[in-house]
Amino acid sequence: MKKVFLCEYIHPEAYKLLKAHTEIIREWDRLGEADGLINRNLSISRVWMERAENLKVIGVHGTGVDGVDMAAAADLGIQVFSVPHRNSQSVAEMNVALMLALGRKLLMADRMIRQGSVDVSALRGMEFSGKVLGLIGIGDISRRTAKICRDGFGMRVIGWSRHLGADGVAEPGIEIRKSMDEVFEEADVIMPGLDLTEETKGLIGKKQFEKMKPGALLINTSRGAVLEEKALYEALRTGKIGGAACDVFTEEPVTAENPLLHLENFIAAPHLGANTEEALKNVGMAVVRELLERLDIQTNEGYRE
């Protein structure tokens, strides 16, 4: 029976399927026995892969593969795959939840009530009807977010994508802009939807924040490192932008030492975008099924997505 290294949580149904067809290894000193590995939040380096001398496949429980040293995997002949789009709806809903919490100052209101001193004048919020949502990157999550904001709130949606080119190719329900700067200048709410690559690392920084409207909001549930956090801190501290909410950070797990957490106009969440029952089941089942397939393990499940 082939062996799979699993040291992080996966949905019980996905665990049951994996256990039925493989031996699950959890002990680090047995990493070298593993034929496959399922990764969620760990950084898989060349050192890890060289220790796992039998490793053939790494399945990423989620969308991006930025947590895996892809060059090392290629050198060592290890297949790496992810399961995109299975958690898109949950992350899109998280985008909207953070937008509402930030725009209506709900966390600040909660703190004031608990402290017994409510200043209603400090809690004046933003109505989103008629506002402009700006998307940086137009993948599945961004399109789902756009639909919720457009159909639910009557927002106008604009966006820019590195993959659509400078000709402004039409995207249903989204007005395409030819540059990222145009989106920052026009939008009332900015939402990056970017994978983390060498090209996108630090893509959004001081230059972009300076172009934002006074009072505009920024929501990030994609990858922390696409933002320059120091520049974001300064834009928030000086009131250049109205507020920001991040579910992802350059260094995770985020700690109280991060200066952003000391700002009243900032909301933090600990990477919860895909942390719903539905998304965890969809992603867990997808990564286990594909891992088994790549390891040439027959499951006789019948129905497959």
Local structure of 171: helix, strand or coil: strand
Catalytic residue among 13, 53, 252, 301: 252
Residue 21 designated active-site: no
CA distance 35 to 23: 10
Q: Where in the chain are the domains?
A: 3-84+276-294, 88-268
pLDDT of 165 reads 52
Give the closest residue to 149 by CA, choosing from 95, 215, 194, 91.
95
Quick: pLDDT tens for 169-227. Answer: 567 899 999 999 999 999 999 999 999 999 999 999 999 999 999 999 999 999 999 99
CA distance 247 to 239: 21
Residue 252 designated active-site: yes
Catalytic residue among 223, 228, 229, 289: 223
CA distance 290 to 245: 34
Q: Model pTM?
A: 0.91
CA distance 262 to 271: 18
Percent of the chain exceeding pLDDT 70 equals 96
- DSSP classification of residue 225: G
Residue 104 designated active-site: no
Is CATH 3.30.1600.10 the classification given to domain 88-268? no
Residue 168, C-beta contacts closer than 8 angstroms, at least 6 positions apart: 176, 177, 178
Catalytic residue among 271, 290, 293, 294: 271
Sign of CA dihedral 241, 245, 247, 250: positive
Quick: pLDDT tens for 255-282. Answer: 999 999 999 999 999 999 999 999 999 9
The domains spanning 3-84+276-294 and 88-268 adopt the same CATH topology:
yes
Token pair for 255? 């700690």
Q: Residue 304 — very low, low, confident or very high, per pLDDT cuts 50/70/90?
A: very low
Domain covering 3-84+276-294, topology: Rossmann fold (3.40.50)
- DSSP classification of residue 35: S
